[in-house]
Structure 1
Amino acid sequence: METVMQNETDNGVVSTGSSLIFLGTGCSSALPNTLCLIRPSDPPCNVCYPALSLPPHLNPNYRCNTSLLIDYCESQSDDKHSYILIDVGKTFREQVLRWFTFHKIPRVDSIILTHEHADAVLGLDDIRAVQPYSATNDIDPTPVYLTQFAMESVSVKFPYLVRKKLKEGQEIRRVAQVDWKIIEEQCDKPFVASGLKFFPLPVMHGEDYVSLGFLFGEKCTVAYISDISRFPSSTEYVISKSGAGQLDLLILDTLYKTGSHNTHFCFPQTLEAVKRLCPKRALLVGMTHEFDHHKDNDFLVEWSKREGIPVQLAHDGLRIPIDL
């Protein structure tokens, strides 16, 4: 079984190069499920009930909104790091307190949004907490990459983060300083955030809605897909071993342990997609309290041996050294 906190390379030396840090691996409502705490069952939920009694690094079943931080070091010989955040949801401040401090993350250099739902954007106001202090907002803004559709939604949710000029007589108030960057919903329209190239991966998040995953990395290729109910054929081709080439790592959505859902992959669909795409390795995110980290990873150990593809549930705080 994996250790709860993986922060070291195989030789036991903490990596000084690039790494992926899972700030959150849970569903939109996060874990523990509040109803399991305020209306406990008998016996109580074995995933949610212990969640408040264990420290974060020993509690893989405590899951914040799904979010990934890329600690990008362009060259092993250059110790300059850039910190690229994918999604900034409702639990962002908690993730900073838990994992920025644990992993000694000093700032956020760029933000990329998969879509404009609450679990991906409602932490945008808290970005000011990781920016230098300025009562007059006289700081360099943080680039935020998002689609035009997401931009229009965010403009309604956070008009004060979008408006560039104050109205006559309006007082200056300290707010997060961001620089909005519109990206395309196409696999062949890459963009660069903090020196790292990303290819958008449009996927269906319900049949009426397109969310984005992202493909990145040249030495090791990573696909991050947090909200999906179906792969369009063009996207699947880009990340499939039988298509454009095998991924080194696939990070993929899995909401419920059984059955299906109209806007997310559940465990059966996730594992079928992993077999079809055939990455070298896969880590799963977006889980509800139906998943018990240790028990279900024990199952996945056997599944991985049988199918020849290593798959595990990720957990909050997990750090994976990777050469991008």
Structure 2
Amino acid sequence: MRTILIDCGKTFYEAALNWFVHYRLRNIDAVILTHGHADAMLGMDDLRQWTIGGKKYSVQDHIDVYLNRNTAKVVEGTFPYLFDKRKATGGGDIPSLQFHIFGDGPEGYEPFMIEELEVIPFQVEHGYGGDGKFMSLGYRLGNVTYISDASGLPEKARKCIAGTDILVLDALHYDSHPSHFSISESIKEASSLLSPGSHLYITGLSHRVDHDTLNQELADSSILKEHGILAETAYDGLRIVVDDLTFGASTINSVTACTEGAIESDKRARQNLPSHLGDIMSSRETTTLLPDTFSRLERVILMANGNVQRILSAYYNSTVTVDILSNEKIDVDANMNSRETIFKREVNLVCLNQICCNAKSTVTITSSEYLRLIEEQQVGIGQLFR
């Protein structure tokens, strides 16, 4: 999973305290700025909390920031020490940022890559400046287009937006405004650009607009119904699953795409476990040997399910819960001197209030000694598979 922050405005710090913690976000892999207004860049100094303190306290050694030349001039004028550390005063604790500044080309801005993700910047009108129209930026990231501040869409912008599945679009309130779309203008623009089945999220609303009332109006909108567009108002903490992975039976077949996240999840899970429990974590077999049965085993998440659970949880950055459909216990005589207890289980894995997949597993319990080690460490088997 990668964390890309679009804009770092004057309320960023308070928002990060809420939502970075809520969604367990830590690193910032990139910051992308849309324009040089306070609501888009005045929180840049607060990025110091990620990079100061050395290896002992910092989250990362630097943060990459992508912006155009006009925005860079404003940021440098506001925070000169972000570009030249010699201009810092006081204690000198400033964020470590690496700026990637792009300029205008004959056909607009060139796309750039944030690791494997292509980002396409394009200009949108955002009111007026001293010498004409003031231009902000929108961004297309895969099948998602983000336009936070706009009053008009040039033709090049329309070409970039066309075919997007999810459009986050600016609207201030019901009345017209020189630098922002009104609600009706935003709906009209989306209807002309999006295909049936696409999603529109209206963002940037003022407090004059009631959230629930507007949601109902969007649901009742004849123009949106005519074009088959699903629309709702955005809100703080909104989470949208935008990857090609979809919920349903196909998810488990696509889960190999999440391997990197699963490995990181495994590493985090191992940190607080005794070393002699690590072998279970590394197993990828559908039939796994575990200690002899005990009462808490009825609550355990089995290995085959646990592996998928960790992968999905790491990928969607959300808790994956387990609904047990069946749990069959079978006692078997392995030989004259020993017995095995086999648990066959079928569960549904549930994430974001939807069923991710159906999973089945078989676990054979053989080792009473292993059980003793687990109990002495006060670690339940279930903790291995969260």
Normalising by structure 1, we get a TM-score of: 0.67
Whether contact under 8 Å (2:52, 2:95) holds in the other structure is: no
Higher strand fraction (1 or 2): 2
Pairwise CA distance, 1:274: 0.9
AA matched with 1:117:
H
Q: 2:61 aligns with which of 120, 136, 140?
A: 140
Pairwise CA distance, 1:172: 5.5
Tell me how far apart the structure 2 counterparts of residues 132 and 95 of structure 1 sit (CA, whole Å): 20
Counterparts in 2 of 1:99 and 1:289: CA distance versus 1, 3 Å = same
2:378 matched residue in structure 1:
none
Whether contact under 8 Å (1:107, 1:131) holds in the other structure is: no
Matches within 5 A, 1:47-62: none
Whether contact under 8 Å (1:136, 1:174) holds in the other structure is: no
Is 1:183 matched up with 2:128?
A: no
Pairwise CA distance, 1:238: 2.4
1:46 matched residue in structure 2:
none
CA offsets, 1:248-279, max 9 Å, x none?
1111000012x211111111110110111124
Is 1:268 matched up with 2:187?
A: no
1:253 matched residue in structure 2:
170
3-state DSSP of counterpart to 2:206: coil
Higher helix fraction (1 or 2): 2
AA matched with 1:140:
D
1:92 matched residue in structure 2:
12
Tell me how far apart the structure 1 counterparts of residues 56 and 44 of structure 2 sit (CA, whole Å): 19
Question: Percent of aligned positions with the same letter in both sequences?
Answer: 35
Tell me how far apart the structure 2 counterparts of residues 137 and 177 of structure 1 sit (CA, whole Å): 14
Tell me how far apart the structure 1 counterparts of residues 87 and 124 of structure 2 sit (CA, whole Å): 38
AA matched with 2:158:
E
Tell me how far apart the structure 2 counterparts of residues 313 and 228 of structure 1 sit (CA, whole Å): 16
Tell me how far apart the structure 1 counterparts of residues 134 and 216 of structure 2 sit (CA, whole Å): 34
1:277 matched residue in structure 2:
193
Whether contact under 8 Å (1:128, 1:176) holds in the other structure is: yes
Q: 2:153 aligns with which of 216, 219, 231?
A: 231
Tell me how far apart the structure 2 counterparts of residues 294 and 196 of structure 1 sit (CA, whole Å): 34
What is the alpha-carbon root mean square deviation over aligned residues? 2.3
Q: 2:25 aligns with which of 86, 92, 105?
A: 105
Pairwise CA distance, 1:166: 6.3
2:242 matched residue in structure 1:
322
Whether contact under 8 Å (1:142, 1:178) holds in the other structure is: yes
Pairwise CA distance, 1:305: 3.3
Higher relative contact order (CA 8 A, sep 6+): 1
Tell me how far apart the structure 2 counterparts of residues 255 and 110 of structure 1 sit (CA, whole Å): 27
Counterparts in 2 of 1:282 and 1:90: CA distance versus 1, 3 Å = same
Pairwise CA distance, 1:135: 10
Whether contact under 8 Å (2:147, 2:170) holds in the other structure is: yes
Tell me how far apart the structure 2 counterparts of residues 301 and 292 of structure 1 sit (CA, whole Å): 14
Pairwise CA distance, 1:206: 1.3
Tell me how far apart the structure 1 counterparts of residues 96 and 56 of structure 2 sit (CA, whole Å): 11
1:302 matched residue in structure 2:
220
CA offsets, 1:200-252, max 9 Å, x none?
111111142110000111xxx11101111111112112222xxxxx2111110
Tell me how far apart the structure 2 counterparts of residues 290 and 269 of structure 1 sit (CA, whole Å): 17
1:173 matched residue in structure 2:
92
Counterparts in 2 of 1:198 and 1:114: CA distance versus 1, 3 Å = same
Whether contact under 8 Å (2:125, 2:154) holds in the other structure is: yes
3-state DSSP of counterpart to 1:173: coil
Pairwise CA distance, 1:177: 0.8
Whether contact under 8 Å (2:137, 2:147) holds in the other structure is: yes
Instruction: Give the length in aligned residue pairs.
Output: 233
AA matched with 2:76:
S
AA matched with 1:302:
D
Whether contact under 8 Å (1:134, 1:174) holds in the other structure is: no
Matches within 5 A, 1:8-19: none
Whether contact under 8 Å (1:224, 1:251) holds in the other structure is: yes
